[in-house]
């Protein structure tokens, strides 16, 4: 049977073959240069990933909405856009050195890859996402065993089958191409396993969760052979460090202020106990400058309190990266 790499053409999907052809063309350029082949997720994670990369110091741009090859302002990185669902397969196969995808799709594909970094961000914020088992509110189904002999639709087929097998419940698991909530609301299936970040879509379709199959975070993954290459490993770890720094800074801000010596203790008492601000003397005798990093959500309460305690010239500024 004719195959490409480790893949069998007879069992490959059209999209999978298209991506394989694109990657073959892409690799001809890579072989002539010392660069890292980086897969970026196309779809729901794309916008947030581009945003995090920008904060990390990498400007990623697409020449058009139909392009699969974004430009990166780092000559050592060549990027390609792929669906997160397929990313780990290409990384495992070595078509890509590394990539960004969800832990859920690594589990679904049973991919053998190196997990370089756990990047806790999603489409709508710095949250984990969950794959949940959901049923209609009026279905009378309360627990997993109530679904015995029923039909369940999901995009995460392998993980779902493993879950029901572990719970010793026989169900018919079918693949869903999308609009999964509609299928259960319309009576086409009895339950769904669907990705949720806030639960709003489930509630809008009058569905209730009866179990969580798995939680997932965004992962920076690497091919095992590529990760043994000293240059590639160092480059991957550099990218991972900067991305983690960008994520750490996402909900924090910096604060600067000037304080008289007589007010210093009162001002410091208003700052969170676990924060250790930088304190330095000013040219004017009896005055100090304080600088600290704080959670953005507390700033609106903290700044008035600092002002009342004697702080002056308070400046709040955004952060791109916080490297611990």
DSSP per-residue string spanning 102-167: EHHHHHHHT---EEEEEE---SSSS--EEEEEEEETTS---SGGGGTT-EEEES-HHHHHHHHHHT
Same domain, 210 and 288: no
Split at pLDDT 50, 70, 90, the class of 285 is confident
Residues 6+ apart with CB under 8 A from 298: 272
Split at pLDDT 50, 70, 90, the class of 274 is low
In a domain, 298, yes or no: yes
Same domain, 16 and 69: yes
Measured CA to CA, the distance from residue 117 to residue 86 in angstroms comes to: 19
Comparison of pLDDT for 99 and 206, the residue scoring more: 99
> What confidence score (pLDDT) does residue 263 get?
96
> What confidence score (pLDDT) does residue 65 get?
78
Mean pLDDT for the stretch of residues 138-165: 94
Measured CA to CA, the distance from residue 197 to residue 159 in angstroms comes to: 18
> What confidence score (pLDDT) does residue 7 get?
43
In a domain, 12, yes or no: yes
Split at pLDDT 50, 70, 90, the class of 33 is low
Same domain, 84 and 163: no
> What confidence score (pLDDT) does residue 24 get?
66
Same domain, 118 and 54: yes
In a domain, 69, yes or no: yes
Q: How far is CA 83 from CA 6, 123, 216, 303, in A?
A: 19, 14, 16, 43
> What confidence score (pLDDT) does residue 182 get?
85
Mean pLDDT for the stretch of residues 70-82: 95
In a domain, 324, yes or no: no
Split at pLDDT 50, 70, 90, the class of 6 is very low
Same domain, 84 and 197: no
Mean pLDDT for the stretch of residues 252-277: 90
Mean pLDDT for the stretch of residues 97-113: 96
User: Among 1-15, 77-91, 105-119, 298-312, where is mean pLDDT lowest?
Assistant: 1-15
In a domain, 71, yes or no: yes
Residue 290 pLDDT greater than 90, yes or no? yes
Split at pLDDT 50, 70, 90, the class of 273 is low
User: Which residues, in sequence order, are bridge partners of residue 96?
Assistant: none
- CATH code at position 111: 3.40.190.10
* Cα angle for residues 307, 313, 319 (degrees, 5° grid): 100
> What confidence score (pLDDT) does residue 64 get?
81
Same domain, 228 and 297: no
Measured CA to CA, the distance from residue 244 to residue 323 in angstroms comes to: 8
For the stretch 123-135, pLDDT in tens is 666 778 899 999 9
Nearest to 97 by CA among 49, 33, 47: 33
Residues 6+ apart with CB under 8 A from 234: none
Same domain, 67 and 165: no
Which of 226, 249, 272 is the endpoint of a domain? 249
Same domain, 12 and 68: yes
User: Among 2-6, 163-167, 282-286, where is mean pLDDT lowest?
Assistant: 2-6
Split at pLDDT 50, 70, 90, the class of 232 is very high
Same domain, 245 and 257: no
Measured CA to CA, the distance from residue 129 to residue 125 in angstroms comes to: 10
Measured CA to CA, the distance from residue 241 to residue 223 in angstroms comes to: 18
Same domain, 38 and 178: no
Nearest to 37 by CA among 12, 64, 69, 2: 69
**Domain count across the chain:** 3
For the stretch 182-225, pLDDT in tens is 888 888 999 999 998 877 888 888 899 999 999 999 999 999 99
- C-beta separation of 254 from 277 below 8 A: no
Split at pLDDT 50, 70, 90, the class of 3 is very low
As a whole-number percent, the residues of the chain with pLDDT over 90 amount to: 71
Nearest to 248 by CA among 1, 14, 55: 55
Same domain, 23 and 116: yes
Domain that residue 262 falls in:
252-318
In a domain, 101, yes or no: yes
- CATH code at position 279: 3.30.70.120
User: Which residues, in sequence order, are bridge partners of residue 215?
Assistant: 130
Query: How remote is the C-alpha of 111 from its chain's centroid?
Result: 18
Which of 196, 216, 236 is the endpoint of a domain? 216
Looking from the CA of 67 toward its CB, the CA atoms found within 13 Å total 12
Comparison of pLDDT for 121 and 319, the residue scoring more: 319
In a domain, 323, yes or no: no
In a domain, 163, yes or no: yes
- C-beta separation of 128 from 217 below 8 A: yes
Nearest to 107 by CA among 125, 87, 80, 127: 87
Residues 6+ apart with CB under 8 A from 76: 34, 35, 36, 235
Residue 8 pLDDT greater than 60, yes or no? no
Same domain, 13 and 89: yes
Residue 157 pLDDT greater than 90, yes or no? yes
> What confidence score (pLDDT) does residue 123 get?
63
Out of 15-24, 158-167, 183-192, the most confident range is 158-167
């Amino acid at each position: 049977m004719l195959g490409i790499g480790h893949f069998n053409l007879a069992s490959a999907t059209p999209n999978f073959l298209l991506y394989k052809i694109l990657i073959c063309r892409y690799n001809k350029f890579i072989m002539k240069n010392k660069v890292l082949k980086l897969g970026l997720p196309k779809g729901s994670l794309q916008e947030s990933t581009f945003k995090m990369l920008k904060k990390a110091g990498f400007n990623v741009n697409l020449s058009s909405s139909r392009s699969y090859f974004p430009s990166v302002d780092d000559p050592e990185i060549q990027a390609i856009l792929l669906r997160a669902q397929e990313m780990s397969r290409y990384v495992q196969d070595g078509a890509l050195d590394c990539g960004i995808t969800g832990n859920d799709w690594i589990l679904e594909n049973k991919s053998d890859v190196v997990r370089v970094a756990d990047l806790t961000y999603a489409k709508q914020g710095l949250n984990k996402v969950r794959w949940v088992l959901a049923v209609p509110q009026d279905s009378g189904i309360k627990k997993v065993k109530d679904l015995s002999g029923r039909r369940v639709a999901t995009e995460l087929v392998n993980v779902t089958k493993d879950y029901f097998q572990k719970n010793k419940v026989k169900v018919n698991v079918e693949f869903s191409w999308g609009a999964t909530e509609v299928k259960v609301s319309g009576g086409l299936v009895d339950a769904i396993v669907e990705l949720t970040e806030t639960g709003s879509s489930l509630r809008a379709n009058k569905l209730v969760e009866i179990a969580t199959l798995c939680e997932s975070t965004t992962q920076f993954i690497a091919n095992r052979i590529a990760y043994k290459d000293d240059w590639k490993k160092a480059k991957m770890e550099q990218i991972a460090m900067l991305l983690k720094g960008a994520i750490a800074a996402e909900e924090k801000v910096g604060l600067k202020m000037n304080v008289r010596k007589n007010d210093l203790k009162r001002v410091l008492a208003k700052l969170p106990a676990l924060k250790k601000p930088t304190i330095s003397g000013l040219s004017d005798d009896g005055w100090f400058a304080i600088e600290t990093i704080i959670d953005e959500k507390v700033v609106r309460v903290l700044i008035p309190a600092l002002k009342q305690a004697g702080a002056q010239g308070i400046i709040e500024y955004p952060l791109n990266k916080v490297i611990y």
